[in-house]
Amino acid sequence: MKYVKLIAKPDTWFKAGTEVYEYNADYEECKRVSLEKWNQALSEGGICVRGIRVCEEGYEQQERCLDCKIGEERIDGEWCSCDEFEAEIICGEDLDKCQQCDELAWDGYICHVCGVKNI
């Protein structure tokens, strides 16, 4: 299976230089988006992901606020345009077999299929 490492570009929703992850998983799981999902997002023009957001002036007052102070970092989820990220395809050859789910998705820290860490 192939995954995509997505790094936020400067002046976009998420903190520049940080990796964003699968929206439907806890941020702490660090589950990368599958290549299949990324290709679908490219055809649709955007993707919903989770990452680190830096609270900016005015943002703390919005209806959908994170209840944060300016400059504070928070985990947030958002639908973003695909051009807001640098994308690197992580091939199965770069991954090992996960001891928990038996998928070729282990990167040495986390399984990108089942989410298990440090086994």
* 62 CA to centre of own chain: 24
Can you name the residues that pair with 19 across neighbouring β-strands? 7
What is 26-69 written as a DSSP string? -GGG-PPEEHHHHHHHHHHTEEEEEEEEE--TTGGGSTT-----
pLDDT, tens only, 56-110: 776 555 545 556 777 889 899 999 999 999 998 887 666 788 888 887 778 777 7
pLDDT recorded at residue 30: 83
Q: How many residues does the chain have?
A: 119
Output DSSP code: residue 84.
G
